[in-house]
Structure 1
Amino acid sequence: MKRKTELLQILTSIMLIIALGGTKAYAAEVEGTFRDVPVGSWFEEAVAYVWENGLMSGTGEDTFSPDMAMTRGMLVTVLYRAAGSPSWEETGEETFLDVQPDAWYRDGVYWARAEGIADGYSQTQFGPNDLVTREQLVTMLWRFAGSEQAGGELEFNDQDMISSWAVQAVRWAGDNGLVSGKLGNFFDPQGQATRAETAVILTRYCQWAAAEDPESGLEEEEEPEEEEQEEQEEQPSNPLAHNPYDPEAFVVENGFLTYQGDAASHIGVDVSAHQGEIDWERVAASGVEFAMIRVGYRGYTAGNIYQDAYFEANINGALDAGLQVGIYFFSQATTVSEAREEALQTLEWIEDYDITYPVVFDWERVDSDSSRTKDTTGTVVTACAKAFCTVVEEAAYTPMTYGSPSKVGKDLHLSELTDYAFWLAHYTTGWQPTSFQYFFNMWQYSSNGSVDGIDGRVDLNLCLTNWPNS
């Protein structure tokens, strides 16, 4: 499977949509900034959003030029910013004669070419000042988002005018509410895309992408008390090993929970794009020994698979800082086939990295009316966990499952998963020893941790196992 344009397709939503109350607040911020953006106009809130978040800037001190046509140079620069302005190395293939070394759009041009978002007309011509059509705008955004196939039907009155290479992109954008027709339900594929239209479509994309990330829809408790055991489905009677750890041996040192008994004790964090940019050297210097990094997730509505926007930055940063690294995939699988698909995609994404900690199946229920997993049974979830772990084990990695006390038995039948390591999520008051009665290899004991080098909250973990390859 071709590596999707993971380039932080969801980064925009994760970093920029801190709260989806979003655009109206931004409009208040930008009011009066641009004299050519009328209050109450159809593009006012979108312009405010892209300006406030650094995706698009004004064309003058107090002008946005909403009716100005977008150029290729402008558009690739906007997408490059949405991807977090990733660094790239010159390879000697920077051959476009119409892209000068000091051009403001140069980074965006060569980044977009490397990622398959926008090619040149030839090896020497990119056309940075050429105007962008509406179908070209949608196609570049579609490639940025991973080129997902769309199954909906085109319903524009001028759909026969859409170029064959743009049909899938326009269908995808229509299916997800990113574009709508002009007066008379015409898409106007060859019409010039304006800066206002670009701002609106990009804002809609950010909001759509945020809704697809299941972790963004989960409510995190500040520091929950002991979790009450929910009513559990009946499980097979396979015996589960009991919690062997001495409660008196859990000791807080230097801001982290440690274990000073007859077991391993390793300090760790787990991270995803929600943490943003991380200074891994500072994290390592703080005493952290390992990182569990989100490689990707399946959306909880449409069920598409995405690479975590910061996966590459996080894994390279953690490894370069000397940390041991494990991986987790945030699953929303509803069938064994989907679980295998998630495992295979995970293996493809991690094959070039030194993974010494487990590869984790992290399935969490999203209680939303639009969630595809809200009615999934524990029997199905457990079968999916087995399928994922089997694929991981066959690839010579250490498979692991993840869950909290209230989910064990309801969503995850541990008695059927005793061949695999288990990562416990249990946030106790004051980091008191967990009352979980069964064996676990790793304990996520806080979702409200503070670690030097990471802005905001981060999950803290204690690993009680020495892994074979670590």
Structure 2
Amino acid sequence: MNLKKLERRAAALALAAVVGIQPVLAGSYKLTIPSGYTSPFVDVQKGDWYYNYVAAVNSKGYIDGYGNGYFGANDSLSAGAALVMVLKAAGSGNIAATDSHWASGYADYAVSNGYLTRAEIGDLDGAMPRILVAELAAKALGLSPSQAKSPFSDVNDGYLTALYEMGVITGSTENGKTVFLPDKPISRAEISVIIWQIDRVHTYGKQILFQNTYYDILDGVPVNSYSSSYFSKDSNGYMTYNEPGVETALGIDVSVYQGEIDWQKVADAGIDFAIIRVGYRGYGSEGKMMPDKYFTQNIEGALAAGLDVGVYYFSQAITVEEAQEEAAYVIEQVKDYDLSYPVVFDWERQNYAGSRTQKVPSVSTMCKMANAFCADITAAGYEAMVYFNPSEGYSQYDLSKLMDYPFWLAQYNSRPTFYYDFDMWQYTSSGRVSGISGNVDMNIRFFR
């Protein structure tokens, strides 16, 4: 059997560096725009985009006004104010003045900790460039420079990129490009949002933001190191990835829903591989195992056309024993075929009344089911793989418990933004390929 066994990447480029503070909460937590705070400043009124942030960070003691009832939202942030606000939000506490300037103690603190030099700080009453504010924030939070490609077209700074990856800084858009304007002063309104985010990172540690929920970073799981700049569409509308040293293959996954397929036309259209549904477990409480009616026709047609072939089982298992039952079924069905691509555990929730997976099993059970399925598949001599979308990958599985098997990510974006590493990407469910009537899932597999 010609197996294309991929080794899991033992190391990958880190997209962000480690925060020196352990998260207070386990699992995930919600972060919303602050609410319930009241601004004491006459020039910060409800309806202003920065109102909630200014009110919140002022209540926390990180930001003050001018002493005359005014905040000065559009004023440039002074070096002294930047030092006080950023360092307090990052956990410095109150620092007494060391000379006549009210921010002098914070300046000494920043210099003694290696955050900024005296020359970089300059006049405490003068404006501080936003790139220095960013570097101050990153260093005060204990971040190391990120090695990832800068998201900004006008500056490449590892500390700034690390802050971007954590959602502390987002930048702005000019002429269709994301820019940071590193030498421009930052306004007091803008810093209020950044201070709110710095406080979040200091309080909870480094986490992943997905759909308004933050998830703890899993130890030992390689991170997504694919550079967005290497992804593009070719003349056929197929996804490509052109990083030097990385080979790819283009594929589809199909089931009875694609109907009759002309597999020779599919091969002639430039498709390299097909992942074919071998069967599924019923949605209802009985959970009866069913074959895909087109499995035999599809696998024999794809192999005859010269495609590399793998299979997937659409699981609705709720116990380890059921997952093993599914693996045994798959092994029996594929024993007469030459599989060169993985056998995939595809567990997906069905959220409707009567669905046996409306209530998702515990993370522990999900991992045990996936591992049991994949272990049996591997023991039979096939390559096993686990399929999930970002929500499932973050919340239903603990990926650190599945590291013996490659991951197949389903995320329908122009670029994959999932935090962790994966070996295959299902990038659309609405692909069009000659030989198939209607839409089809399309995938790209990576070989490093």
TM-score w.r.t. length of structure 2: 0.51
Match of 1:372 in 2: 356
Match of 2:28 in 1: none
Q: For residues 408 and 309 of structure 1, do their structure 2 counterparts lie closer, same or farther at Cα, with a shift above 3 Å needed?
A: same
Match of 1:245 in 2: 226
Q: 1:263 aligns with which of 237, 246, 259?
A: 246
Match of 2:259 in 1: 276
Does the CA-based 8 Å contact 1:330-1:363 persist in structure 2? yes
Q: For residues 363 and 231 of structure 1, do their structure 2 counterparts lie closer, same or farther at Cα, with a shift above 3 Å needed?
A: farther
Q: Distance in 1 between matches of 2:215 and 2:401?
A: 13
1:103-130 per-residue CA deviation (whole Å, 9 max, x = no partner) reads xxxxxxxxxxxxxxxxxxxxxxxxxxxx
Q: Distance in 2 between matches of 1:229 and 1:389?
A: 29
Q: Distance in 1 between matches of 2:321 and 2:215?
A: 23
Q: 2:367 aligns with which of 369, 382, 385?
A: 382
Match of 2:302 in 1: 318
Match of 1:392 in 2: 377
Which amino acid letter does the alignment assign opposite residue 294 of structure 2?
Answer: Y
Q: For residues 234 and 380 of structure 1, do their structure 2 counterparts lie closer, same or farther at Cα, with a shift above 3 Å needed?
A: farther
Q: Distance in 2 between matches of 1:419 and 1:311?
A: 28
SS class of match (1:427):
coil
1:131-179 per-residue CA deviation (whole Å, 9 max, x = no partner) reads xxxxxxxxxxxxxxxxxxxxxxxxxxxxxxxxxxxxxxxxxxxxxxxxx
Match of 1:144 in 2: none
Q: 1:353 aligns with which of 330, 337, 356?
A: 337
1:426 aligns with 2:406: no
Which amino acid letter does the alignment assign opposite residue 453 of structure 1?
Answer: G
- More strand as a share of residues: 2
Q: 1:285 aligns with which of 259, 268, 273?
A: 268
The alpha carbon displacement at 1:361 in A equals: 0.2
1:29-56 per-residue CA deviation (whole Å, 9 max, x = no partner) reads xxxxxxxxxxxxxxxxxxxxxxxxxxxx
Q: For residues 393 and 238 of structure 1, do their structure 2 counterparts lie closer, same or farther at Cα, with a shift above 3 Å needed?
A: farther
Tell me the C-alpha RMSD between the 2 structures. 1.7
1:255-276 per-residue CA deviation (whole Å, 9 max, x = no partner) reads 2101111312111000000101
Does the CA-based 8 Å contact 1:295-1:329 persist in structure 2? yes
Q: Distance in 2 between matches of 1:362 and 1:234?
A: 24
Q: Distance in 2 between matches of 1:463 and 1:315?
A: 19
Q: Distance in 1 between matches of 2:346 and 2:270?
A: 25
Match of 1:439 in 2: 421
Q: Structure 1 segments of 4 or more deviating over 2 A? A: 227-235, 376-379
What does 1:407-422 correspond to in 2, within 5 Å?
407-422=392-407
1:333 aligns with 2:314: no
1:362 aligns with 2:346: yes
SS class of match (2:302):
helix
TM-score w.r.t. length of structure 1: 0.49
Which amino acid letter does the alignment assign opposite residue 294 of structure 1?
Answer: R
SS class of match (1:437):
coil
Q: Distance in 1 between matches of 2:309 and 2:405?
A: 18
SS class of match (2:224):
coil
SS class of match (1:410):
helix
5+ unaligned residues in a row in structure 1: which ranges?
A: 1-226
Give the fraction of aligned pairs with identical amino acids, expressed as a percent: 46
5+ unaligned residues in a row in structure 2: which ranges?
A: 1-208
Q: For residues 230 and 419 of structure 1, do their structure 2 counterparts lie closer, same or farther at Cα, with a shift above 3 Å needed?
A: farther
Which amino acid letter does the alignment assign opposite residue 385 of structure 2?
Answer: M
Q: Distance in 1 between matches of 2:213 and 2:367?
A: 17
Please say which structure displays the higher CA radius of gyration: 2
Does the CA-based 8 Å contact 1:328-1:362 persist in structure 2? yes
The alpha carbon displacement at 1:348 in A equals: 0.2
1:196-225 per-residue CA deviation (whole Å, 9 max, x = no partner) reads xxxxxxxxxxxxxxxxxxxxxxxxxxxxxx
The alpha carbon displacement at 1:234 in A equals: 7.3
SS class of match (1:409):
helix
SS class of match (2:226):
coil
Match of 1:126 in 2: none
SS class of match (1:461):
strand
